[in-house]
Amino acid sequence: MIAELIETEGEARPTAIATRFGVSHVTAVKAVARLAKAGLVVTKPYRSIFLTEEGKQLAAKCRARHHTVYEFLVALGVSKKAAELDAEGIEHHVSQETLAVFRRFLSNR
């Protein structure tokens, strides 16, 4: 979400993250703090959130997983709206083996 906000809005702030995920500002701030502790983002009070190189790599990997799951669901006939919502949850639980099968299926279409 941080990478998407930076791309679309030019910056990522906890308030925007909270709005996008439908959570409280406090919840978003706590999540960002965990990401900072893990070395994925850099933050300063009252400033935007910035992805570290490691954070950028993880964001790209997550986007690719999401895209694969989304495209697979659409290829099966799931509506784009439902596929977008479902991919958001599935991408966090799908194994590398299953993702590889999804990619193979999509490339053979």
30-38: average pLDDT: 96
pLDDT tier at 74 (50, 70, 90 boundaries)?
Answer: very high
Average pLDDT taken over every residue of the chain:
94
All structural domains of the chain: 2-51 (1.10.10.10), 58-107 (1.10.60.10)
Model confidence pLDDT, tens digit, residues 41-51: 999 888 899 99
69-91: average pLDDT: 95
Provide the pLDDT for residue 56: 96
Provide the pLDDT for residue 92: 87
What distances in angstroms separate CA 54 from CA 62, 66, 90, one per listed residue? 12, 18, 23
pLDDT tier at 78 (50, 70, 90 boundaries)?
Answer: very high
Provide the pLDDT for residue 45: 81
Provide the pLDDT for residue 44: 83
Checking if the pLDDT of 16 tops 90, the result is: yes
Q: Is the pTM of this model over 0.95?
A: no
- State the Cα–Cα distance between residues 32 and 76, nearest whole angstrom: 35
Provide the pLDDT for residue 47: 85
- State the Cα–Cα distance between residues 60 and 71, nearest whole angstrom: 16
What distances in angstroms separate CA 49 from CA 43, 90, 95, 104, one per listed residue? 5, 26, 29, 36
